[in-house]
Amino acid sequence: MKNEKFSTDEYNALAEVARGIKGRPSACVGRNTKRLSGLKLLSISRDGRYSLTDKGKELLFLRRCIVSLRALADDPAATLDADVVAFLGKKSHIAPVEGGFAVTDKGRETLADIEAQQR
């Protein structure tokens, strides 16, 4: 998973599974099921229910952290989820400032590394 690149469509499929699928899965989930289950990010039970694996949950959480870090870099007043704030704060990627949080030098380096990997 370290060097895997995921499309927005694949992330959307994982997010849809995370929310819970009632009835038949969408075309988005259908298109991506084979690859995502092969990478052990989602599983399908014998009765046809889709669920995220721990690896899939971790991937979605890390994506939320990256999206939040980018949002905070663009707008210091951006609103972040509490679990994302706790994680990024513990990893020293953000620091509290008056009125919110600021991206630290370490956070900016991480964003630069992520951008470089996506090229």
Any idea what the Cα angle at residue 52 is, between residues 22 and 79, rounded to 5°?
Answer: 90
Residue 104 counted as domain residue = yes
Residue range 51-80: mean pLDDT, rounded: 94
* Residue 42 is assigned to a structural domain of this protein: yes
Examine the domain organization and report whether 73 and 108 are in the same domain: yes
Q: What is the pTM of this model?
A: 0.87
pLDDT in tens, 44-63: 999 889 999 999 999 999 99
Task: Give the residue-averaged pLDDT of 60-88.
Answer: 94
Task: Assign 77 a pLDDT band (cuts: 50, 70, 90).
Answer: confident
Tally of CA atoms within 13 A in the half-sphere of 99 that contains its CB: 5
Range of the domain at 90: 62-117
| SS3 labels along 55-70 | HHHHHHHHHHHHHHHH
How many domains would you assign to the chain? 2
